[in-house]
A = this chain, B = another copy of it.
Amino acid sequence: MELIEGLYTRRSVRQFTGQPVERELLLEIIKAGTWAPSGLNNQPWRFAIVQDAAVRANLAKLTKYHFVIEGAPACIAVFIDKSLMYHDTKDHQAMGACIQNMLLAAHALGLGAVWLGEILKNAEAVRALLGLPEQMELMAVVALGHPAGKSHTSTRKDLADVLLKEL
C-alpha cells in the first residue's frame, strides 16, 4: 500500500471476523508504533497484548464500547511510562504519533483497528487488570482483527476551514 493512499484510506474498524491475529503482525504493529518521533527521543510508550478471551471479557466491561473489545480477537493496550515523561503535552502528542503509526501499520497489513479512548475513564482499573505497575498510565486501547463488513465512510473539514493563514 502506498503511504499517501494509506493516510487517506485508513478508517476505524469496529467489526472483525473471528480469525485470530498472527502474533507476528501484532509485533510488527507495535514496532511501527515505536518508530514514531518523541521529544528528546524519550520513547515513553509501553504495550500489552491481550488475546486471552477471559481477560478481554473483563477489559470489555471497562468501556461502554464493550462490543468492540468483545468482538476483537486482539487488543493492544498502550501505556505511557510516567517515569520517562518530561512535558505532558509533548509526551501525549508523542503517544498520539505512536498510536497513529500503529493504526497505519494495521491498515497496511490488511487488518482493521480502532483507537479506543473512552476507556481512559477506567485507566487505573485497566492497569490493575493487566497487572502492571503504577508508573504505567493507560493512553489508549487499540482493538484489532481481520475486518468484517463494509468499512465506514468518514469526513473531514475542507482545507479552507483549517488553514488559518499563509504568510
Contact = CB atoms under 8 A, between A and B. Distances in A.
Interface of A: 1-8, 10, 12, 27-28, 30-32, 34-37, 39, 41, 43, 45-52, 55, 79, 87-90, 92-101, 103-105, 107-109, 115, 117, 120, 130-132, 136, 139-140, 154-157, 159, 162-167
B108 A46 contact: no
For this chain, the copies found in one complex come to 2
A108 B3 contact: yes
B156 A7 contact: no
A157 B30 contact: no
A28 B131 CA distance: 43
A120 B100 CA distance: 22
